[in-house]
Amino acid sequence: MRHTYRNALWCIVVFASSVLFAQIPKMKIAPPQKPTIVYDRVDIKKVTMEKTEVEFVYIVDNPNSVGIDGVLADYELFLKGNSTAVGKDMKFTIPASGKSELKLPLEINYVNVFKSAAELTKAVLGGEKTIHFKMDILFKINWKVLKFNVPISAEGELPLPEVKPAAPAPGDIKKKIKL
């Protein structure tokens, strides 16, 4: 009797396996595809004399039905041709099926770029309104059987802070009006 149960169980396993394997050609199982990533824009969040807050925005198109966790990015920001900010292994997640934005927030201290606050002020008072940037970033994707890098380089202009004229002292107003 024990032998009969074993034979019956064996037959069920063989039958179920054959039905399952017969369905595999009909299933739509595709290997994972590479997502694409492109630079879109830089969003200026806040500009002050001390710092500028920006977000570098990248558009990612993931054709896969599952998201990709643990995407790493290394970046280097150049202002006036000099390396200004460097980051390594910034973590991102790419959502499943479709386009989405990846945002890299940065704070930029222009005094470090211009070597001193006096030099920055001189540039701004001299009429400079923007500073040229170059952003190099390398997205590193290591997901299941997909292992590849996406290097992107983008260039553009970032705004410099504005110097507002100082308000006249209360005594100066009386002098100009001459009552």
Query: Using CA atoms, how far apart are residues 44 and 21, in angstroms rounded to an integer?
Result: 55
Q: What is the pLDDT of residue 96?
A: 92
- The predicted model gives 28-38 an average pLDDT of 82
Mean pLDDT of 111-126: 82
Nearest in space to 59 (alpha carbons), one of 103, 106, 105: 103
| Position 78, amino acid | F
Q: What CATH number labels 33-161?
A: 2.60.40.1820
Indicate if the pLDDT at residue 64 is higher than 70: yes
- % of the chain exceeding 70 in pLDDT: 79
Buried b (16+ CB within 10 A) or exposed e, 31-55: eeeebebebeebeeeebebebbebe
**Averaged pLDDT for residues 98-109:** 93
For the chain, give the mean pLDDT.
83
pLDDT of residue 27: 56
Question: In DSSP terms, which residues pair with 41 in a beta bridge?
Answer: 57
CA quadruple 61, 97, 90, 51: dihedral sign = positive
pLDDT of residue 100: 95
For the ranges 7-11, 93-97, 150-154, the lowest mean pLDDT is seen at 7-11
C-alpha to C-alpha distance for 98 and 8, rounded to whole angstroms: 48
> pTM to 2 decimals?
0.72
Q: Averaged over 28-53, what is the pLDDT?
A: 87
Size of the chain, expressed as the number of residues it contains: 179
What residue type is 136 in one-letter code?
Answer: D
Within 10 A of 6 (CB to CB), how many other CB atoms are there? Answer: 10
